[in-house]
Amino acid sequence: MKILILVLSSVNDIQIEPIKQTWASYKLPEIDIFFYYGKNDLKNTDRDIYLDVMEKYENMGYKTLKMFEYIKDFEYDYVFRTNTSSYVNQEKLLEFLSDKPRDNFYCGIKGYCGIYFCSGCGYFLSKNLVNMILENKNNWNHDLVDDVALGKLFLNLNIHPTDIAKRLDIWISEIPYQVKNSTNRFMYHTNNKIVNELEYDSIKDFYHFRCKQTDRNNDIVIIKKLYEILKTNKTI
């Protein structure tokens, strides 16, 4: 099995280097990791891909389509599209996909905006669906947020989200921490002190963590803490 992790990025994202120093500091033989950006004078590297799309929020859909075109001839079975507000446990990601279908697999935390779609911070696509997207890219509605646009495109092609994804959302706030379960989305509300008290047992079963905070510097605090815990327990 081969998996491509595609990280939607911007050259201004302060989380990129911490990610490269933590969960993306290594890769398993079955996984390749790419960070993809909008148009820039920088040259592509083995994992930093600069695409011919202006770097702005409204162009996220165009940027993702360009990245799908970039990988179209690669050998792989699944794409996991994520972003820089995420932490990925590669071993658990591989374990999650070990028994999943190789075709028509569109999977993530479901959202609803008139239609069901998979949250853009982390969704899976089997290779045949990436090809299907490219074949139908002219029907992508760029007036919609990119994850909603993808859900709408798939709805018209009779492809529906598989609701078996699992994600832990970690939020730094002033309220006491608590764990809430809404289907497969677990929310861990904490504060700065309790971030330092996160325990292995509370995170060991997740392949995807959403770390997006109002203060993006706190994303980095969470990313580094997750890496520290998982590395100490040798599960990365």
Where are the domains positioned within the chain?
Answer: 3-156, 167-232
**Amino acid 186: pLDDT:** 52
pLDDT value for 76: 98
In this prediction, the residues of the chain whose per-residue pLDDT falls under 70 are 172-197, 235-236
pLDDT of residue 163: 84
Query: In the prediction, which pLDDT does 167 show?
Result: 87
Q: What is the pLDDT of residue 221?
A: 87
Strand 78-83 and strand 116-126: the pairing is antiparallel
pLDDT attached to residue 174? 56
pLDDT of residue 168: 84
Amino acid 183: pLDDT: 47
Q: At CB < 8 A and 24+ separation, what contacts does 91-97 make?
A: 91/28, 91/235, 91/236, 92/205, 92/206, 92/207, 92/235, 93/3, 93/5, 93/31, 93/207, 93/208, 94/1, 94/3, 94/28, 94/30, 94/31, 95/207, 96/166, 96/207, 97/1, 97/3, 97/124
Domain 3-156: which CATH class? alpha beta
